[in-house]
Structure 1
């Protein structure tokens, strides 16, 4: 199971790195159009890759901690790591979509973007 956890970590890193390359290539490919719109799309692409990569990294941490070494100290460290990554994911989600994850479009939020 330790290998499965490491595999999830590897996938998370590949997703983040691949997302960065994809976002950069898309930005460079559309450099001739409006710069502000391109930069927003780059941030959305790259932010989405980071959020998805963080999900894989959290899954890898959970697998390694709970299945491989389920000590109270490891579970406490896992809780802190998951909390930090959850806050990061939520902050990135707000940055990408311009609203909190639990807000629906048209529910009083600024959905004109």
Structure 2
């Protein structure tokens, strides 16, 4: 087995971990949400917690997906075109991660934890 095939397998495995983390997080957050509703919890509180759980799962999974892309692109075929496509993918995923983090934390990254944005 050569270097390229090993790196490809590693990158694909990291992608699979990212997808599994998102799936596991969605299932876990959904289970917690349903349990809270069954226990008679307030829907708005349970829903807010559910959205935060989903956001955290997606954020963690995205980090692994970006890592898998970087490993495969840089180690296997570092052409100008492939690095450009990687940069675009990373930019989109970073923007998505940024917006999810704002949603989960309820504040902008430059705000202190005590300064929260108004809930809508």
TM-score normalised by structure 2 residue count: 0.88
Structure 2 counterpart SS, 1:38: helix
Larger radius of gyration: 2
Is the aligned partner of 1:75 residue 2:83?
Answer: yes
Alignment correspondent of 2:32: 26
Alignment correspondent of 1:17: 23
Can you give the 5+ residue segments of structure 1 that lack an aligned partner in the other structure? none
Aligned residue among 27, 46, 59 for 1:51: 59
Alignment correspondent of 1:3: 9
Moved over 4 A (4+): none
TM-score normalised by structure 1 residue count: 0.93
Deviation sequence 1:40-77 (CA, Å, 0-9, x none): 00000010000000000000000000001111100000
Work out the number of aligned pairs and report it.
111
- Paired with 1:83 and 1:21, the residues of 2 have a C-alpha distance of 28
| RMSD of aligned Cα (Å) | 1.5
- Paired with 1:103 and 1:54, the residues of 2 have a C-alpha distance of 23
Residue 111 of structure 1 and its aligned partner are, at CA, apart by 7.2
